[in-house]
Amino acid sequence: MMISGKTTAVCHVFRLFAVTAIVIVVAGCSKDDTESSGGPGPVGTPAASAEGRAEGYPATFARQSMWDDGLSEMCYYQAVDRVYDQPRRYIRVMLLNREWLNSVERVKSDQPVAAAERKVGRAVGNEIPVFKLNLIEEIPTQNYNYRYMVTLFLNRESLEPEKLAATSQEWCGTTFKQFQWMPDVLKARGFSYFEGEGDREWSLPRRPVAYPAEALFVIARALVAANRNLTLRVLPSARSNHVAEPISQEVSLEVSKESQSIRVPFGGFSARIVTATSSGASEFGRFTIEATAPYRLLAYRGAEGLELSLRFQERRAYWDRSKPSRFYPQGAAP
């Protein structure tokens, strides 16, 4: 998506994130909440073409019953990245939960959906079952903080993108981006305060599907659940304060054949590694995924040096003010 590095001294920093800021992404749930459905197929089953329509691979991940418990999977990551040429440490919050998207208005639907109709892949009228992924971060620097939020809706059946909105705020200004994957076209819009960027719009073919980089935080989990590899066309990360033309590249995701024991601040786990490699044979990112359900993202390392490590997770109705977090006190969210 629309990313590029800063060209001014004050705002130079987020060039790093152009491709690797697939950052916030994917929350987890406790071991008590895990549930698996369906069995894995062999690693190395033929990957999808660059169009990325691998039939059935999301099912094991998407159909876990925990997604229908009415709660949000919330993960908090220790993050390190460089801003203004210095390493900055902060907490990245990633939320993932099931919602319904109104296919006409392209917004979250609050219409009640009968429990019997809550089946993966079954739209009810104008309501599409989706995963909502929120990536939230606030990064301190010398004089002010950088604030980023990305909201991504993925079709629950296919994990194809439906809509993305991203904002950045820092004291230089605000940037906003929106992508909508319509039946026949991908509509992209960007609004930037930088000279030469301004307000911009693009209309791109709907297929082959161009996935936002942020989607890989979910897709990597689904690939471990299905035990398979995949090749997709991927846009740069939307997490940036610049707007640039959305140009995709082919990225191959390969799941390690063996699991390994790893330790993160949240504890020790058996994990599989998903390596994302771009068409130029360079490493796009490395995702460390829990080897068993719920297949949490345990750690991430981006090609430009961004590192994430799971510090805490919880399932919670964060919108309910009577339900405080077990990670941070009310009034002190990261």
Which sequence spans correspond to the domains of the chain? 12-316
Rounded mean pLDDT of 68-86?
A: 93
- Please give the model's pTM, rounded to 2 decimal places: 0.81
pLDDT digits (tens, 9 = 90+) for 187-241: 999 999 988 888 999 999 999 999 999 999 999 999 999 999 999 999 999 998 8
* Alpha-carbon distances, residue 128 vs 33, 56, 163, 272 (angstroms): 25, 18, 12, 31
Rounded mean pLDDT of 69-85?
A: 93
196 class by beta-carbon count within 10 Å (0-12 exposed, 13-18 middle, 19+ buried): exposed
The residues pairing with 302 across neighbouring beta strands, listed in sequence order, are 285
Question: Closest Cα partner for 13 from 136, 137, 134, 139?
Answer: 139
Q: Give the per-residue pLDDT at 303.
A: 79
* Alpha-carbon distances, residue 237 vs 20, 107, 218 (angstroms): 7, 21, 14
How far apart CA 132 and CA 2 sit, in angstroms, is: 20
Q: Give the per-residue pLDDT at 31.
A: 41
Peptide bond connecting 294 to the previous residue in cis, omega within 30 degrees of 0: yes
How far apart CA 215 and CA 73 sit, in angstroms, is: 16
With a CB cutoff of 8 Å and minimum separation 6, the contacts of 46 are none
Task: State the sign of the Cα–Cα–Cα–Cα dihedral 163, 100, 34, 117.
Answer: negative
Q: Give the per-residue pLDDT at 124.
A: 72
pLDDT digits (tens, 9 = 90+) for 51-67: 444 456 899 999 999 99
Question: Closest Cα partner for 21 from 142, 121, 150?
Answer: 150
- Given a cut of 70, is residue 168 above it in pLDDT? yes
